[in-house]
Amino acid sequence: MRNKKRTLYIFVYLTLAVMCIFTLRLWQLQILKGDYYRDKSIKNRVRVIRLPAPRGIIYDRKGKALVRNAPYYIVSLIPELTEKVDTKALSQLLGMTEEEILDRIKKHDPHSLEPIRLKEDIPFREVAYIEARRSDFPGLIIETDITRQYPYHETAAHLIGYLGHQMGNKRMSDGDELPEGTFIGQWGVEHLYDKALRGQPGRKYIEVDALGRQLRTLQIIRPVKGQDITLSIDLDTQMAAERAFGGKSGALLALDPNTGDVLAMVSLPSFDPNIFIKGVSEKQWRRLLRNPGHPLLNRVFQSQYPPGSVFKVITAIAALQEGIINKNFKVKCTGEIKVGRWRFRCWKKGGHGIVNLRRAIIESCDVYFYEVGRMLGIDRIAKYAFAFGLGRPTGITLVTEKRGLIPTTKWKLEKKGRPWYLGETFNAAIGQGYVTITPAQAAILISALANGGIVYRPKLTLPEPSEVISRLPLRKKIISFMKDALLGVTEDPRGTGWRARSEHVRIAGKTGTAQVISHTDDRQPSRIYPKDHAWFVAFAPVSNPQISVSVFVEHGGHGGETAAPIARTVIEAFLKGNRNG
């Protein structure tokens, strides 16, 4: 009897103990961790689908769309349901190898709640095919994003830029946290104005069953479309400018001299931004980087070269403004000038004879400007070069700019450890030697002369207030004289820029030729050495300037032969398309 009672007590005690354990466990689950498991339960039956925001459209100044939005379909897998999927059957459905699918699952961040992307940018026909069979694969979903199409391909690619995938979850500098795979601006205007263009994505909350199939929609937060942006460029002028190069490498910047608006920006060779949408393969990227034409280089702001005779505009203005010479000052050009054992030659063998300043500008006489440079000195030349915006970045935020170089006596002593020599002044006075500028700086220089002495910062969008960098205290008589001399460059029969002469508008300009130093290559004795680089800067109409242009052609030879006709084409195209021209 006692044994039975003892057994009964033990059973009761054990039962009570088990009940206490269960009670404690239930208390832990419901009280201590109740919120955690309720949240986990909700997450297991509620899915959050990201609704992409339509990206803002980029327009030219006349309202022509430069980009298009397009749907971008992605086949993805819910991370917690990967074990329920037949990857072999799934590979047949998606046209992928099973190894590719397993590799993507393996590489997915186990802490991320974002779906695993298996296949991207699939055509709509394939979307319909997969959707019809999706119920056989738990956790398989089709996501929709919005991407870009660039209908004009290489046209203005360095300005417009391109989109690309965000790699990994990332908090942007503007505070937005973007999940992996989000399309963001990677370059150009797409990158510069990415925050405004991309808008705000929405959210769709849905209830799903154990297999990840949607049961009902719980809530929808609508996406907010990105802001449209209007660029200052004129598409017709841009296309005319690119065609005018005829396959040559180079750069062009056209500005409104009265506002700083960028009317056209050309950097050649260019690239097709559409190739970046899916993600550039390693092979494609290597091909772009190794391309000897450097298509990713924005030559307008990131290349710097000796300006050649374009720089004579600075030398002439400096001499007139400082009172060193007047417009009637004459020099006899015999074809060269001697300093000790050194000879500094004019481009014209035999010389130009006796020339005044106007004729020296029109015919680009080197000897004349050697003498003017001697009287000015390098530091006074540099003073006016800096005033016109040379030797410093323009301040545009599109790319990281080159500064160019305007040498001074102090610069040479600090950088070279040697004093400045007279022969170096001769070279600098005609835009050779140490002097280098960018095509953008050349455009700002000629714009400042066209508008009477105001240096504007280039701007890309409309409406956007103009920003004055500086106002040059140039005498009106000097500006008037220089405009007349530059008009002679294109209209005088002896002018070096006569190929820029137009039947429709009077164009003022200045040619330049940047010398390319030849060198011997014993391995290629028959090699053809490259030509010099060609420059031309211009503005029009002379009486009421509405466009200024800087043209640079790599290995184009003389500026009057190759660069001047390009400038004429661009000016005529712009003025033809604008009524006030």
CB 406 within 8 A of CB 461: no
Same domain, 405 and 518: yes
Q: What is the pTM of this model?
A: 0.85
Same domain, 406 and 270: yes
DSSP 8-state assignment for residue 338: E
pLDDT(390) > 90: yes
Same domain, 417 and 536: yes
Same domain, 475 and 553: yes
Domain count across the chain: 3
- Measured between alpha carbons, how far is 56 from 228 in angstroms, rounded to an integer? 4
Amino acid at 199: G
- Measured between alpha carbons, how far is 249 from 246 in angstroms, rounded to an integer? 9
Residue 46 tokens, joined = 């509620």
DSSP 8-state assignment for residue 85: S
Please check whether residue 300 lies inside any domain of the structure.
yes
Region 7-25: mean pLDDT is 67
* pLDDT bucket at 411, cuts 50 / 70 / 90: very high
**Residue 581: predicted pLDDT:** 41
Same domain, 105 and 90: yes
Same domain, 86 and 197: no
Same domain, 87 and 187: no
Span of 32-41, 238-247, 537-546 with lowest mean pLDDT: 32-41
Please check whether residue 171 lies inside any domain of the structure.
yes
pLDDT(526) > 50: no
**Tokens 């020099």 appear where?**
331
**Residue 177: predicted pLDDT:** 66
**Residue 40: predicted pLDDT:** 45
Could you say which of 147, 166, 196 is where a domain stops? 147
Residue in 482, 446, 481, 454 with CA at minimum distance from that of residue 470: 454
* pLDDT bucket at 521, cuts 50 / 70 / 90: very low
Q: How many helices (H) and strands (E) does the chain have?
A: 20, 24
6-16 b/e (C-beta count within 10 Å ≥ 16 → b) = eeeeeeeeeee
* pLDDT bucket at 479, cuts 50 / 70 / 90: very high
**Residue 43: predicted pLDDT:** 47
pLDDT single digits (tens) 185-205: 999 999 999 999 999 988 888
Pick the catalytic residue from 76, 267, 303, 309. 309
Region 333-357: mean pLDDT is 94
Cα angle 435, 386, 256 (rounded to 5 degrees) comes to 100
Please check whether residue 16 lies inside any domain of the structure.
no
Please check whether residue 530 lies inside any domain of the structure.
yes
Span of 171-180, 302-311, 421-430 with lowest mean pLDDT: 171-180
**Residue 283: predicted pLDDT:** 85
Instruction: Read off the CATH number of the domain in which 94 is found.
Output: 3.30.1390
Span of 41-45, 389-393, 563-567 with lowest mean pLDDT: 41-45
Same domain, 542 and 421: yes
309 classed as catalytic? yes
φ and ψ at 235, to 5 degrees? -60, -45
Please check whether residue 154 lies inside any domain of the structure.
yes
How many angstroms from the chain centroid is the CA of residue 436? 22
* pLDDT bucket at 12, cuts 50 / 70 / 90: low
Percent of the chain with pLDDT over 70: 86
Residue in 268, 11, 17, 276 with CA at minimum distance from that of residue 147: 276
CB 220 within 8 A of CB 201: no
The better pLDDT of the pair 413, 35 is held by 413
Could you say which of 147, 168, 183 is where a domain stops? 147
Percent of the chain with pLDDT over 90: 64
DSSP 8-state assignment for residue 391: T
Could you say which of 147, 169, 186 is where a domain stops? 147
Instruction: Read off the CATH number of the domain in which 157 is found.
Output: 3.90.1310.10
Residue-range definition of the domain harbouring residue 182: 49-67+150-204+217-231
**Residue 329: predicted pLDDT:** 97
pLDDT(33) > 60: no
Residue 141 tokens, joined = 């979903």
**Residue 212: predicted pLDDT:** 64
Same domain, 482 and 543: yes
Please check whether residue 1 lies inside any domain of the structure.
no
Span of 171-185, 306-320, 395-409, 457-471 with lowest mean pLDDT: 171-185
- Measured between alpha carbons, how far is 17 from 25 in angstroms, rounded to an integer? 12
- Measured between alpha carbons, how far is 5 from 549 in angstroms, rounded to an integer? 110
pLDDT(471) > 60: yes
DSSP 8-state assignment for residue 335: S
Sign of CA dihedral 66, 60, 511, 470: negative
Same domain, 266 and 395: yes
* pLDDT bucket at 110, cuts 50 / 70 / 90: confident
pLDDT(17) > 60: yes
The better pLDDT of the pair 61, 36 is held by 61
Same domain, 154 and 62: yes
Please check whether residue 61 lies inside any domain of the structure.
yes
Span of 108-122, 438-452, 558-572 with lowest mean pLDDT: 108-122
Instruction: Read off the CATH number of the domain in which 536 is found.
Output: 3.40.710.10
- Measured between alpha carbons, how far is 141 from 522 in angstroms, rounded to an integer? 63
Same domain, 470 and 517: yes
Element (H, E) at 89: helix 87-94
- Measured between alpha carbons, how far is 131 from 458 in angstroms, rounded to an integer? 50
Please check whether residue 426 lies inside any domain of the structure.
yes
**Is the previous residue joined to 463 through a cis bond, with omega within 30 degrees of 0?**
yes
pLDDT single digits (tens) 214-249: 678 888 999 999 999 999 999 999 999 999 999 999
